[in-house]
Chains A and B, each alone.
Chain A
Amino acid sequence: MRWGMLVDLRKCVGCHACTVACQNVNGLDFADKWTKVLRVGPIGKYPNLTGYFMPVPCMHCEDAPCVEGCPTGASFKRKDGIVLVDENKCIGCKFCMVVCPYGVRLYNEKKGIVEKCVMCHERLENGETTRCTETCQLKARYCGDLDDPNSEISILIARNNAKPLHPELGTEPSVYYIIP
């Protein structure tokens, strides 16, 4: 079992609903985003221009540099592939933020610890899907088991030749993208 996500960038319109839903369910401040939405483009030469939007949550890497680098063991990877931060162990040294190649970790000034997307693990344990997947009006997000070749997410990844971000870094992210 390895939880993963797939974002179909052909469908995403950059409405930021996933960002807001995530902020809502996790009680985050207005400026704190565990899922940021980047605007890519315009790409190409006029008049043949294109562009798309790219939501970027924590990649829950299989070979996570944050887990490897955390001096206290606060950042850890569960058996189901979800990378979490143990609030009781985090000392807020920010080394995980330095080593994360995706810039998806945030420092919580009030708590003095580092936080990030938790892939709504409690919801997943209760048989629900992640809040960002649920809220996406255009059904651009999918969440499922990457280890199961018959799961919807695995089939879509294979069929659309979906790719993770910066695969050359060897982090083996669990978030894939169907790029237009």
Chain B
Amino acid sequence: METRQEYWEGLAAVSFFLVATGAMMFLVLAALDLLGAQAALDINGWGSLAALVMAAIGGLCLMVEAGNKAKAYLIVANPASMASRNAIMMTLFMGLAFVYATFFFAFIPWVGWNYVRALVAVVGIIAALLAVIVPALELGESRGRGFWNASGLIPVFIITSLASGTGAVLIVAAVMGFAQDPAIAILDRALFVFLILQLITVLGYVKGMKNSGAIEARTAARNILEGEFKTSFWGCVIVAGTIVPMVLFFSSSPAVIIVKSVLVLVGGVCFRNIFLAAAIRKALPGEDNEWVSREEAAHLAISLEKRWQEKKEWLYPSK
């Protein structure tokens, strides 16, 4: 019986996090621009490029995870699959983020084309939202892993990504010296609201799964709340990634904004890592009685091979 989902861990979680954070970072920046915030004109160029770079690194993490990297381009070959759609959305979003960023650099000829910029921003927002939603649908395709319920994961993914995307925008604004801008102050308050929603949705989802009809979902939720993942869940996701940044809301110095935003990002990575790893598969009859694990069998094979080599050496000593 599985104790954790071990096929997609670490890099996949980082990839999901980076793409979602990059996408929501772009969404927040584009929304600021569409709402007419002055700060948008100053930070959106580099901010959009940062969002693009985050998503690109996320895509690279997925490529590194793949066994046959030379053929990774084939990932978009089957648009009927959610994994393929995820890659397509990611690529589309990155393209739009790049085009959008070009409207903010003076040496680009189309800098003044505000209507086109607004159009790209709107299409980019849709692509960014899809880049966050499709991974939830992708995980929901796993019929044997009851913990991943697509309809429940979509709002959780949107809220947590919004929180980490807003955190990333605050870091960019603080680094570029716009931490005291009125629009950024509003964004800071928005982050507080997103963190409250994150607390409600994440805890609500896990608590809900604890009462689920599927035994594997109940086990996964128990592992998160009181088992193997409890330290990282309560410590990183809830306390460090949500409650501490909420407490730090009451200070608006650039250093505090950066610290709390970094904590939100750390919480975001931990959240994805836990949600990926905890989703165990529905057990097969007798699976918990499997005589030898794959690792044990491999260990036994190595020992046998060593013993055979010793015998061979004894029977036919090398000169």
- A interacts with B: yes
Mark A residues whose CB is within 8 Å of B. 29-31, 36, 38-41, 53-54, 56, 65, 68-74, 89-95, 97-103, 107-109, 111-114, 165-166, 169-171
- Residue B301 at the chain A interface, CB threshold 8 Å: yes
Q: Is the CB of B78 within 8 A of A71?
A: yes
Q: Which residues of chain A are near B72, meaning CB under 8 Å?
A: 91
Q: Is the CB of A73 within 8 A of B78?
A: yes
Given A90-B68, A99-B141, also A72-B5 (CB < 8 A): no
Q: Is the CB of B143 within 8 A of A169?
A: yes
Q: Which residues of chain A are near B232, meaning CB under 8 Å?
A: none
Q: Which residues of chain B are near A113, meaning CB under 8 Å?
A: 67-68
- Distance (Å) between the CB of A20 and the closest chain B CB? 12
- Residue B203 at the chain A interface, CB threshold 8 Å: no
Given A65-B141, A93-B62, also A103-B285 (CB < 8 A): no
Q: Which of B77, B142, B290 contacts A72 (CB 8 A)?
A: B77
Q: Is the CB of A38 within 8 A of B84?
A: no
Binary contact track B141-165/A, C-beta < 8 Å → 1, others 0:
1111100000000000000000000
Q: List 19 A-B contacts (CB under 8 A).
A: A31-B294, A31-B297, A38-B284, A40-B285, A40-B289, A68-B80, A68-B81, A70-B78, A71-B75, A72-B77, A89-B71, A94-B7, A98-B5, A98-B142, A102-B284, A111-B68, A113-B67, A114-B67, A166-B284
Mark B residues whose CB is within 8 Å of A. 2, 5, 7-8, 62, 65-69, 71-72, 74-78, 80-84, 86-87, 138, 141-145, 281-282, 284-287, 289-291, 294, 297-298, 300-301, 304
Closest 10 CB pairs of A and B: A92-B67, A101-B144, A112-B67, A40-B286, A71-B83, A38-B286, A30-B301, A71-B84, A72-B74, A73-B78
Q: Is the CB of B77 within 8 A of A65?
A: no
Q: Which of A38, A72, A97, A114 contacts B287 (CB 8 A)?
A: A38
Q: Which of B66, B75, B143, B300 contacts A65 (CB 8 A)?
A: B143
Closest B residue to A100 using CB positions: B144
Given A71-B81, A72-B78, A94-B7, also A36-B290 (CB < 8 A): yes
Inter-chain CA distance A109–B83, complex, in Å, is 22
Q: Which residues of chain A are near B298, meaning CB under 8 Å?
A: 30-31
Closest B residue to A109 using CB positions: B67
Q: Which residues of chain A are near B300, meaning CB under 8 Å?
A: 30
Q: Which of B2, B138, B284 contacts A165 (CB 8 A)?
A: B284
Given A31-B301, A166-B144, also A93-B284 (CB < 8 A): no
> Beyond A38-B290, A99-B144: 5 further Cβ-contacts under 8 Å?
A31-B297, A38-B289, A70-B78, A71-B86, A91-B69
Closest B residue to A40 using CB positions: B286
Closest A residue to B70 using CB positions: A91
Q: Which residues of chain B are near A108, meaning CB under 8 Å?
A: 67
Q: Which residues of chain B are near A89, meaning CB under 8 Å?
A: 71, 74, 77
